[in-house]
Amino acid sequence: MIMKLTNLLYFFLFVSVYGNEGLLNRIAGFSPAELKDKELQSAIVKLGMPAHEKLKTGNKESYKLRMDLCRKIRAVRDTKRLNKGLVIHEWGTFKYLQDSNEIEIGMRDNISDLPGFVQVWNKQPNIYHSRIIKKPILYFYPKFETSINVTVKCPTGILTQWWPNVSSFSPRRMQNNKIKVLRRNGTLSWRNIRFVKRQAPKYSKADKHPWWNKLRNVDASILNVNGVDEKFLFYRGVASRKPVMKASYAKDKLRIENTSEFKLGHVFVVYVKNAKVFDLQFSLDSHAAKNISIKWDQAVDVKTRSVQLRKIFQYYLEELGLFPKESKGMTDIWQKQYFENEGLRIFYVMPRKLQDSFLKLSFSVTPVSLIRTNVVQYEIFTPEREKAVFLMIQKLGAETFRERRKAQEKLLKADEFSDAYMKKVLNEVDDPEISERLKSILLKRQKLRHFID
């Protein structure tokens, strides 16, 4: 008790002599025991975002305490924003795939993971494109507003799935579903979206898709669109715009270049192989490059590390402005694909100016705050993965039915990146029997549900 009183007296004396500026300069040096003091915590939180920046540095022992204080500071800031007017948050993922020769591979615009009520632009799911726009989600937090109109435009691509249903979309499909339109200037418009308060929202059932229900577990307003309740606006699509990064990989040597004029503040490298994961986090200045040696002796168990990586990623998204429930929902959904599935991938958040030009958002009501955290997933299909998939494809020509069936089963269960590689190999296969069997497998992977007219 005497020790605590002594510390408090010292603290108040320090503030009285050096003021808030002095307290700011000392934040990084506070010990874990000092940071546990409620009076000191309260004083730091009152300093606001300048203290938030100072709390990013310090010793490892105080990390959790510092991060908890950062969350409290952001909560104060966010409450002020919410009391001023409409706040809108968006998150999503943009996927890009390249092979071991640094050549991009088009990925399928797949809808098999979507609930049946989601609206679909095209009846032919075999669209392969250089970039897939995955799950951009828009949440709304109104203060005074009762309704809003929203438009999304993609100059370099088309928007192919959405929910709730839109008032209009373009380009329109041609008769008989023949795709004769250019895949650009895609537009979706929702009109008269009403913000409603209900104890029991009338959501469409998504029981077979638990990730969809996770998206609803936030404090955002319920939206009512043409009599349908939902917690968010959802859309996906395909585009041809390349990432602002170049990467090359060979024999556990990875080189990453930032080709843009923007600093990439947080780059994550995650390489999962044989139930182990190697990961690295760093920033990359404009037009800078980084050479990385993949050190497997430093790799750790993927199950343990994936949980830690999810929490690190979640915290980073909160720093960018997402609310804790939003960032938790996003990282819960993507944990397996980001941090557990086999493969080499790089993540970074697309710089805001590029987001605004790539996917243009417009609202009939101007928000007091618009946060956009769209993550680019840059997947490298390594020589090891290419070899594994190619061997399975070759076994489609095996003499015994048992070997062929086993290969077919493995290829049917392969991930979306292996699917893209299979499509690439299909165009290069000389053996007619293997070609037909591989074509059949690719067709079976198209699990269509329903379409719009």
pLDDT of 278-292, one tens digit each? 999 999 999 999 999
Give the residue-averaged pLDDT of 287-312.
95
Average pLDDT, the chain: 88
> H/E element holding 158?
strand 157-163
* Torsion, CA 126, CA 129, CA 135, CA 136, rounded to 10: -140
Let me know if residue 407 belongs to a domain. Answer: yes
At residue 419, does pLDDT exceed 60?
Answer: yes
At residue 354, does pLDDT exceed 90?
Answer: yes
Let me know if residue 365 belongs to a domain. Answer: no
Are 208 and 300 members of one domain? Answer: no
Give the residue-averaged pLDDT of 228-255.
92
Are 266 and 232 members of one domain? Answer: no
Q: Which of residues 17 and 114 earns the better pLDDT score?
A: 114
Let me know if residue 65 belongs to a domain. Answer: yes
Let me know if residue 379 belongs to a domain. Answer: no
At residue 444, does pLDDT exceed 90?
Answer: no
pLDDT at 3: 45
Task: Convert the pLDDT of each residue in 311-324 to its tens digit.
Answer: 999 999 999 999 99
Are 194 and 281 members of one domain? Answer: no
Task: Convert the pLDDT of each residue in 19-50 to its tens digit.
Answer: 677 788 888 788 888 889 898 899 899 999 99
Instruction: State how far the Cα of 199 lies from the Cα of 12, in Å rounded to an integer.
Output: 47
pLDDT at 123: 58
At residue 450, does pLDDT exceed 50?
Answer: no
Q: pLDDT band for position 124 (50/70/90)? A: low
Q: Which of residues 131 and 372 earns the better pLDDT score?
A: 372
Let me know if residue 420 belongs to a domain. Answer: yes
Are 302 and 433 members of one domain? Answer: no
How many domains is the chain built from? Answer: 4
Let me know if residue 373 belongs to a domain. Answer: no
pLDDT at 8: 52
Let me know if residue 205 belongs to a domain. Answer: yes
Task: Convert the pLDDT of each residue in 127-164 to its tens digit.
Answer: 666 678 888 999 999 998 899 999 999 999 889 899 99
Are 95 and 223 members of one domain? Answer: yes
Give the residue-averaged pLDDT of 101-125.
80
Q: Whole-prediction pTM value? A: 0.88
Give the residue-averaged pLDDT of 295-309.
94
Let me know if residue 357 belongs to a domain. Answer: no
Are 193 and 296 members of one domain? Answer: no
Are 145 and 107 members of one domain? Answer: yes
Domain that residue 290 falls in: 245-349
- Of 239, 273, 295, which marks where a domain is finished? 239
Are 110 and 168 members of one domain? Answer: yes
Three-state secondary structure readout of the chain: CHHHHHHHHHHHHHHHHHHHHHHHHHHHHCCHHHHCCHHHHHHHHHCCHHHHHHCCCCCHHHHHHHHHHHHHHHHHHHHHHHHHCCEEEEEEEEEEEECCCCCECCEECCCCCCCCCCEECCCCCCCEECEEEEEEEEEEECCCCCEEEEEEEECCEEEEEEECCCCEEECCCCHHHCCCCCCCCEEEEEEEEEEECCCCCCECCCCCCHHHHHHCCCCCCEEEECCEEECCEEEEEEECCCCCEEEEEECCEEEEEECCCCCEEEEEEEEEECCEEEEEEEEECCCCEEEEECCHHHCEEHHHHHHHHHHHHHHHHHHCCCCHHHHHHHHHHHHHHHHCCCEEEEEEECCHHHHHHHCEEEECCCCCEEEEEEEEEEEECCHHHHHHHHHHHHHHHCCCHHHHHHHHHHHHCCCHHHHHHHHHHHCCCCCHHHHHHHHHHHHHCCCCCCCCC
pLDDT at 449: 38
- Of 224, 239, 254, which marks where a domain is finished? 239
Q: pLDDT band for position 452 (50/70/90)? A: very low
Are 225 and 104 members of one domain? Answer: yes
At residue 451, does pLDDT exceed 80?
Answer: no
Are 340 and 253 members of one domain? Answer: yes
Are 223 and 290 members of one domain? Answer: no
